[in-house]
A and B are shown apart, each in its own frame.
Chain A
Amino acid sequence: MSTSRSYSRPIPLLAILLVALAVHGPLLLMQLPSGSFDANFHIFFASHYAHHWFEPWNEKWFAGFSQTTYPPLTHQWIALFSTIVGLNMGYMLVQLIAVLLLPVGVYRFARIWVDDRAASYAALGSVFLGSLSFLVYQAGQLATVASAALYLNALPYFYEWMSEARGRSLLKGIVVSLTAAAAHHVTLIFGVVLFAGPVIWTACLDAHDERVSASVAGVLSRAVAFGLMVVAGVAAVLLPYWLALIQHPIHQIPIPHDSRANFLLNSTIAVNYFVIPYGALILAFPFILVRGVSRRFIPLLCGFWLTFIFGLGGTTPLPRWLLGRAYEILTFERFTFWATLMAMPLVGVLAAQLLDRFQAKAAVALSLAAVGSIGGALWWLGANPYRPTGQMNVEPVIAFLNRDGHDSYRYLTLGFGSELGKVSTYTSAGSVDGDYNSARLLPEMTHYGSAQLTNAKFYGTAGMASLRAMLAHANRYGLKFVFVHDPYYEPLLTFVGWRKIETFNNGQITAWSKDDVPPAHQIPSDAIPPPWQGWLWGTLPVGVSFLAIFLELLLTEERPMPVGVGFPAPAENREQHYVA
């Protein structure tokens, strides 16, 4: 076989999965995400499911909160794995599964628009995305990655159902969509529209241009039917979540987040939320724009553009206009992730064209671009100013709380960042703080525009006002111990009457106490889910994921994916198909 021919073949999906495993497997085995912002949050939730599978009320944060405020699927899978490999490795395993599902999803998603070869390049490229590394290793957004990967796998079924009315596709599409919804709510509510819109539009175009046998009306009616069934399914699978949301809508004062800033006015924010996630993909923007105007690519281009604009946060006013109040609740790095995924089919086309034209040189350049993107994101882990406190040793704090009846009081950490989740996971004591903003109901936290009390100083006056309010009500909540990993907070504690009682890790962490605090008691709340919700929460989300696995194994495809319309055509006459 000639060299040029070897560059014109699609890469087998198995090989792509092996590459993903080779790249991300060791990083996950090294537990690199354990220092990310949200990893400990996910592990904390999983730990609760591991101990109380059917009891979503968790007393360990916010003096009590309901875990039905966050879709449980990834956490329940971690909990399941934790019985064999422990919580940390359970997290890494679930993250690895999500990372492996992603290139499969990108391949299948890309096949709606491009041929096998370009789709395989898109899938391979997705393994090296800066945005993926950013979310996995820096942000720790396990659920976002898992949910996006699952939706990408569901969308080709949706396309098949719309264009071919195959019952099998309908069934699998719905079940995989429900599984994705059970993993992450924000992806469900916002991502689905951005991803599904271009797919519906493309199916209509294909019907209109008679590339598929269906009519436009048929496509649209089947899309509506699919949508209604998914909505009904999601309503059932996540019923406790919707009930919790209806009972306690998010009325908190908006919390500042740098992803909502104008990237043009701050270079650090621009690097963190734009340069690192897009990486070498930035070089492909002109191609995406030029090639995207092909009639069949236009839906994808429009979807990409809209998602791209959302990912820019406050750099344009469009997200604020379209999202209204939700703009102040959302963070926008996930939109950048989705934008990169949506760009991948066109990037696959670009890679195919470059390889056709430059062969080995293109292969080297593309490899460098891919490695540069993931390498940049990994380098940024240690260089970014947002980096979490990382490998702080919180074992002495956990030991302190678990001894001598200290767990009959509540505690607070200051300057611990995401390590709060780790302390909470392994101590039997409860905290008034927590790392999940949407679950907070205590007025000391919701009435101020700040997030976790442990990070209060980063929210300026609002953060410190929230902390002061909580310390002022220490007796009310049985808040007796404060652990400080940042001397910034010591003057406040001193002036409001707390005393340093112990130091840990050679003074890195200090323990403070207040003498007249009574033991903690349960804070009455109307947010405690009734037992039937606990049973529903413990069965339906994880059940639907088992059903998805079962269907994927049982109802295997009779022909290679996807439905496809053989578009674009093989390499030798691709030009006339790529550009309308």
Chain B
Amino acid sequence: MKIALPIVFVAVTTALMVLALSGAGPARGTVGIAGGWAMYGLTPKASTPQQALTNLLVDVQRRNWDRAFRALSKTSAVDQQGFIEDWMGSNGSLRSFSALEDFDPRPLHMTDDQADMRVYIHWSTPVGPIQDVRDIQLVREGDVWRAVWPKFQPPTVPAEVIPVTYLRWDLVTGSAEDQWGSKNVDAPHVRIISMNAVNTAEGAVVMGEVVNEDTIPAFVNVNATLVDGSGNAIDDESSFDKIDHVLLPKQVTPYRIDFPDIDLSRVKNVRMDVKAALVPASADPVIGVMDQKLDTDAQGKAVLHGDLLNESGQTVNISHVIASFYDNSGKVVWVSDGYVDRALLPQSSEPFAVEIPKSLSGEVHNFHVVVNQYSLGRS
């Protein structure tokens, strides 16, 4: 008894721990608080490409950069700073705000000494989740596999002077107590120029376009209320981030309002409400949308892709692309949006892609893209 019981306790505790290690899988934890590493010997050996990539991504997730960099193949062309920047982003980009939340590595091609893996990466970002796909090559070095990391070339721009010639509207408020959006002048004239309601697998969607018909900038919000046959409101939602809220004079923006889990067949009427307020605004920075093209991406999804060109002299940290798609009669059939996770440096470009539902891709005859932006310190 004296010896047996302690041994039983220790043995059962150890067995339970082994069971948890082998079976349960990692518990979902908080993001970005606890770094740390596994107890010595408990990190699985990188004896397969999948395990090597998993180990690497766990270290990236916990921001154990030294360990992650040490796990790369010696043939990698990247230095540690470049490797970190490749994952963490730079210049206040969306990537630099993001946390690697989850990943799913899958083999593409494998020989005895070399493997190509595709990893589906799930980023948690301030503007919502972003999925990324990355192909990574691994090589066998001795009895372990290591990732070969390509050279990371951070974007650079040459020193130059760029004159600012774009329009800007400032707002002088009547008193210190006035909040933004002046109360003592008429609201700008904005108008909904199109509206279309469709059913999707996720619920009803109301979309269209709004124009600022005034000669002053407007802050715009579109709200919609779904009304049933008896005149009762079913749900009300707003355009949220599926709109460019600040419209310069004569500017048009697409909008989309999602009603999750609501079937359009229940809806008799849609009550639209567009609210506008006068706000200060600037046409700078101007972001050009270049080389737009409807295409299919590597995963077989229908996308509109192109490049964003920052024509101004200041860095745009986060760009938000909103695209409206029209059928051959000019009706808006879909509004889609996406965020660019790399910063737009002055006079430089970055690619973008927004997805179109496959069922609609055949209907799309034309499209219109607007770009919303966030620049640190200028919100």
| Chain A residues at the B interface, C-beta cutoff of 8 Å | 256-258, 260-262, 264-272, 289-290, 292-293, 298, 301, 305, 309, 313-318, 320, 385-386, 404, 449, 457-461, 463-465, 468, 471-472, 475-476, 487-497, 499-501, 513, 515-516, 579-580
Contact = CB atoms under 8 A, between A and B. Distances in A.
A491 B32 contact: no
Contacts of B127: 491-492, 495
Given A264-B42, A265-B38, 9 more contacts: A258-B29, A266-B37, A269-B34, A289-B10, A290-B2, A460-B99, A491-B318, A499-B279, A580-B1
A293 B2 contact: yes
Contact of B34 (A272, A314, A488, A501): A272
B38 A266 contact: yes
Contact of A493 (B62, B181, B243, B379): B379
B277 interface: yes
B256 to A, nearest CB: 12
B21 A264 contact: yes
Given A461-B124, A464-B126, A491 B19 contact: no
A468 B128 contact: yes
A494 B16 contact: no
The winner among A292, A316, A458, A487 for most chain B CB atoms within 10 A is A316
Contacts of B177: 404
B179 A256 contact: no
A139 B114 CA distance: 49
A531 to B, nearest CB: 33
A218 B327 CA distance: 85
B36 interface: yes
The 9 closest A-B pairs by CB, nearest first: A268-B36, A316-B16, A460-B124, A460-B31, A267-B36, A289-B6, A497-B245, A268-B34, A266-B36
Q: Which of A298, A493, A494, A499 has its CB near the most chain B CB atoms (within 10 A)?
A: A494
Most chain A CB within 10 A, of B5, B223, B320, is at B5
A499 B16 contact: no
B129 A461 contact: yes
Contacts of A500: 379
A497 B6 contact: no
Given A270-B36, A293-B6, A386-B33, A449 B16 contact: no
B2 A579 contact: yes
A269 B33 CA distance: 10
Contacts of B29: 256-258, 260-261, 266, 269
Contacts, number: 193
B235 to A, nearest CB: 10
Contacts of A258: 29-30, 33-34
A433 B4 CA distance: 53
Contacts of A516: 221, 275, 277
A471 B245 CA distance: 15
Contacts of A489: 126
B284 interface: no
A301 B1 CA distance: 13
Given A404-B177, A515-B219, A475 B238 contact: yes
Interface in B340-379: 372, 374, 376, 379
A489 B317 CA distance: 14
A265 B238 contact: no
Nearest to B7: A289
A497 B34 contact: no
A56 to B, nearest CB: 31
B217 to A, nearest CB: 13
A513 B36 contact: no
B24 A320 contact: yes
Contacts of A449: 28
Contacts of B245: 495-497
Contacts of B62: 266
Contacts of B42: 264-265
Contacts of B28: 256, 449
B97 A491 contact: yes
B240 interface: yes
A439 B97 CA distance: 31
B26 interface: yes
B6 A494 contact: no
B329 to A, nearest CB: 31
A365 to B, nearest CB: 23
A265 to B, nearest CB: 5
A459 B36 CA distance: 18
B27 A256 contact: yes
B241 A495 contact: yes
Interface residues of B, number: 65
A214 B71 CA distance: 67
For A386, A404, A495, which residue has the most chain B Cβ atoms within 10 angstroms?
Answer: A495
A555 to B, nearest CB: 40
Given A317-B19, A461-B101, A472 B379 contact: no
Contacts of A461: 101, 122, 124, 128-129
A407 to B, nearest CB: 15
A495 B372 contact: yes
B248 interface: no
A257 B17 CA distance: 19
Nearest to B125: A464
27 contacts: A256-B27, A262-B24, A264-B42, A266-B34, A267-B36, A268-B35, A269-B36, A289-B5, A293-B6, A309-B16, A313-B27, A316-B13, A316-B17, A460-B99, A463-B124, A464-B126, A471-B240, A475-B238, A487-B376, A488-B97, A488-B126, A492-B126, A492-B127, A495-B374, A496-B241, A515-B219, A516-B221
A315 B39 CA distance: 12
Interface in B68-95: 94
B6 A491 contact: no
Contacts of B2: 290, 293, 579
A256 B29 CA distance: 5
Contacts of A272: 34
A404 B178 CA distance: 11
Q: Among A257, A268, A496, which residue has the most Cβ atoms of chain B within 10 A?
A: A496
B104 interface: no
Contacts of B379: 490, 493-494, 499-500
A293 B1 CA distance: 7
B124 A464 contact: yes
B21 to A, nearest CB: 7
Interface string B32-54: 11111111001000000000000
B37 A457 contact: no
Contacts of B37: 266-267
A457 B240 CA distance: 19
A458 B34 CA distance: 10
A543 B219 CA distance: 57
A317 B28 CA distance: 14
Centre residue among B16, B30, B129 by max chain A CB count within 10 A:
B30
A332 B104 CA distance: 30
B9 interface: yes
Contact of B24 (A314, A471, A472): A314
A23 B374 CA distance: 51
Contacts of A476: 236
Contacts of A256: 27-30
Contacts of A497: 219, 221, 240-241, 243, 245
Given A290-B6, A475-B223, A515-B277, A316 B97 contact: no
Contact of B39 (A264, A292, A309, A494): A264
B30 A257 contact: yes
Contact of B126 (A457, A513, A579): A457
Interface string B255-296: 000000000000000000001010100000000000000000
Contacts of A292: 5-6
Given A266-B34, A471-B240, A500-B379, A515 B179 contact: yes
B202 interface: no
Contact of A318 (B16, B36, B125, B219): B16
B144 interface: no
Nearest to B30: A458
Contacts of B372: 495
